[in-house]
Structure 1
Amino acid sequence: MTILLTIILSFLTFALIVWALMQMRTPRFRMGRRDFLKGLEDVIAGQADDNEWRVLVGYPMRHDPELEALRLECLAIEEEEYSGGQPFLFTEAGIERLREQRRQLLALIAQEKELL
């Protein structure tokens, strides 16, 4: 009788653990337009380091196609204008190109406000 009770309790414990693991979801990192704008402004101002830049452009923005296009353009700018220096991570031409991306992002945010 003790062996049967032990087997049943073990099975129930195992089933509960499997069920709990199935209910857990993978955490999602979702950056919004304002978060991206803040990161971009920090890079332009020379207040961001290489790690912050990697976080900014390292994750696909599947939830926002326009923001994804801006992210991809920032990656293209990185390929051509990245210097890795401090405090500015980009050349002067790269900073100017990032300012243009910032202007486009501000236009997207303004457009988003109009729709609300």
Structure 2
Amino acid sequence: MALYLLVFGVCLLVIGATVAVLLSTRTPRYRTETDDLLALFDKALTSHVSESEWHTLIGYPIRHDEYLERVRRRAAHLMEEHGRRWQIAQGKPLLNATGQAELQALRDHLAAHQRLRRR
């Protein structure tokens, strides 16, 4: 009977600890920040970004900052309008010339906004 109570107590302790750990942890969240978008835009402008890296950041909604969400949507729109997915494997730019110019303007605007925010 003592062995039964010992095993029951150990099992209860392990299950209780597991439940406590599961209740105290949260789902990990990834927050896209301004620096992440600027780094992605720089890589895209120098043709060092993969399509999967682009879609990982641009395809994930930004819920904590409405301004960054608008920038992300604009970048997604640029990809839809000017994207050249089939030429990435050849080391060519992700966007055509018009898209590159618009992405450069978007990147400069985002960098200026970040500088104003830090003041």
TM-score w.r.t. the length of structure 2 is 0.87
**CA–CA separation in structure 1 for the residues paired with 2:99 and 2:31:** 26
**How far is the alpha carbon of 1:4 from its aligned partner?**
2.2
Identity of paired residues, percent? 29
Q: What residue ranges of structure 2 are gaps of 5+ in the alignment?
A: none
**CA–CA separation in structure 2 for the residues paired with 1:31 and 1:71:** 10
Q: Which residue of 1 aligns with 2:52?
A: 51
Q: Which residue of 1 aligns with 2:77?
A: 76
TM-score w.r.t. the length of structure 1 is 0.89
**How far is the alpha carbon of 1:58 from its aligned partner?**
2.0
Q: Which residue of 2 aligns with 1:65?
A: 66
**CA–CA separation in structure 1 for the residues paired with 2:52 and 2:45:** 15
Deviations 1:47-102 (A, max 9, x none): 11112211221222212211111001111111111111132111111111111211
**CA–CA separation in structure 2 for the residues paired with 1:56 and 1:20:** 31
| AA in 1 matched with 2:105 | E
| AA in 2 matched with 1:64 | D
Q: Which residue of 2 aligns with 1:89?
A: 94
Q: Which residue of 1 aligns with 2:7?
A: 6
**How far is the alpha carbon of 1:38 from its aligned partner?**
1.1
**CA–CA separation in structure 1 for the residues paired with 2:111 and 2:45:** 14
**CA–CA separation in structure 2 for the residues paired with 1:56 and 1:92:** 22
